[in-house]
């Protein structure tokens, strides 16, 4: 357990550990599913860690959440019904609700305790999104929900934690699950997911998610952004059902972005849209050469970093 005035150590690999001074401890405890630790740091502001892995920091949470949501949401001409898997901080809902055409956003998260802590300690993230009349919050297992729902969605967003050993997300990154996701999308629907680190050394999870997603969708587009508090470039994957094209050039985004509620948008701008999809040589080569593995229910991916 950590204490104020000491340092919180986040292990990344056997050779690399990051340390953050704890100025004020906001919460520390274990939910049914994971260890939750939240504290303030003079450099990063409020910080949230799950099972000792950083999830969000006040200094740049908007970089991650705006990047997860807008490149794909802006590609859809009329996203009325959006499903979010995970996203306990509420910031993903916040960004989705910027779209006036959205009639309903359903969020499914297994960890009620985490959501309560985020509401209490990190209200700046959700900005009231949990209580918005368009929001439906469901506490439950995301896979079971997708299996059982009869609804069809315009956009499905996966804002899940990495599949750590015995964690709640292990079975939510498999080929079988992505086929389920595809079956719950409307014919012109899009899926987008956070897919882990895209750094030079540890991008196997990202590449494996890409290979797996291609088994369920005819079109998959990788993109990335640098997140300061993660200390890494971070990867996302957008997928289109029925091969509909995602807007990777930004030709459609300018006028659509102008129609949004842009109050509080601090990172995304249409002029930078195309740059999300321009990958460095090392990452492009890993994807092009088919590195990684296809993740299945029988052979899931376990994040070991």
Q: How far apart are CA 185 and CA 189, in angstroms?
A: 5
The terminus-to-terminus CA distance of the chain in angstroms comes to: 20
Active site residues: 159
Helical ranges in the chain per DSSP H: 61-73, 91-96, 112-121, 123-126, 142-148, 175-183, 204-213, 253-258, 273-276, 281-288
pLDDT value at position 122?
A: 98
pLDDT value at position 51?
A: 92
pLDDT value at position 287?
A: 96
DSSP letters for 248-300 = -S-TTHHHHHHTS--TT--S--GGGHHHHT---HHHHHHHHTT-S----SSS-
Q: How far apart are CA 45 and CA 269, in angstroms?
A: 24
Are 22 and 42 in contact by the 8 Å Cβ rule? The answer is no
pLDDT value at position 243?
A: 73
Q: Which CATH number fits domain 61-288: 1.10.10.10, 3.40.50.150, 3.30.365.10, 3.30.450.20?
A: 3.40.50.150
* Matching residue, tokens 């291609």: 214
Are 48 and 120 in contact by the 8 Å Cβ rule? The answer is no
- Percent of the chain whose predicted confidence (pLDDT) is above 90: 86
Could you tell me the pLDDT band of residue 29, with boundaries at 50, 70 and 90? very high
Of the candidates 199, 195, 257, 264, the residue with the CA atom closest to the CA atom of residue 232: 199
pLDDT value at position 15?
A: 86
Q: Looking at the predicted structure, is the pLDDT value of residue 305 above 70?
A: no
| Sequence ranges of the domains in the chain | 7-56, 61-288
- Percent of the chain whose predicted confidence (pLDDT) is above 70: 100
Of the candidates 157, 206, 207, the residue with the CA atom closest to the CA atom of residue 181: 157
Work out whether strand 135-139 and strand 53-57 pair parallel, antiparallel, or are unpaired. unpaired
Q: How far apart are CA 112 and CA 292, in angstroms?
A: 33
Q: How far apart are CA 235 and CA 173, in angstroms?
A: 14
Within its chain, how far is the Cα of 291 from the centroid?
Answer: 22
pLDDT tens string 49-107? 999 999 999 999 999 999 999 999 999 999 999 999 999 999 999 999 999 999 999 99
Question: CATH code for 7-56?
Answer: 2.30.140.10
Q: How far apart are CA 207 and CA 216, in angstroms?
A: 15
């Amino acid at each position: 357990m950590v204490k104020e005035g000491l340092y919180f150590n986040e292990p990344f690999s056997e050779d690399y550990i990051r340390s953050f001074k704890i100025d004020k401890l906001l919460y520390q405890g274990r939910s049914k599913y994971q260890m939750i630790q939240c504290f303030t740091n003079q450099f990063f502001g409020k910080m949230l860690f799950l099972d000792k892995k950083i999830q969000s920091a006040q200094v740049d949470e908007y970089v991650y959440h705006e990047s997860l949501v807008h490149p794909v949401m802006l590609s859809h001409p009329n996203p009325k019904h959006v499903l979010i898997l995970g996203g306990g901080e509420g910031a993903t809902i916040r960004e989705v609700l910027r779209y006036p055409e959205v009639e309903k956003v359903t969020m499914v998260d297994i960890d009620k305790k985490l959501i309560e802590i985020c509401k209490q300690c990190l209200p700046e993230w959700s900005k009231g999104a949990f209580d918005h009349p368009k929001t439906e919050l469901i506490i439950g297992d995301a896979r079971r929900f997708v299996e059982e729902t009869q609804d069809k969605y315009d956009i499905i967003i996966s804002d899940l934690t990495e599949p750590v050993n015995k964690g709640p997300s292990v079975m939510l990154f498999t080929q079988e699950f992505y086929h389920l996701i595809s079956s719950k999308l409307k014919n012109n629907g899009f899926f987008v997911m956070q897919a882990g680190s895209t750094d030079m050394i540890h991008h196997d999870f990202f590449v494996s998610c890409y290979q797996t997603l291609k088994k369920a969708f005819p079109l998959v587009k990788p993109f990335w952004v640098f997140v300061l508090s993660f200390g890494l470039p971070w990867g996302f994957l957008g997928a289109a059902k029925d091969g509909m094209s995602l807007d990777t050039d930004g030709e459609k985004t300018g006028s659509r972005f102008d129609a949004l509620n842009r109050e509080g948008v601090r990172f995304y701008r249409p002029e930078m849209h195309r740059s999300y999809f321009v990958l460095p040589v090392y990452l492009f080569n890993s994807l092009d050469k088919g590195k990684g593995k296809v993740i299945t229910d029988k052979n899931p991916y376990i994040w070991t970093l």
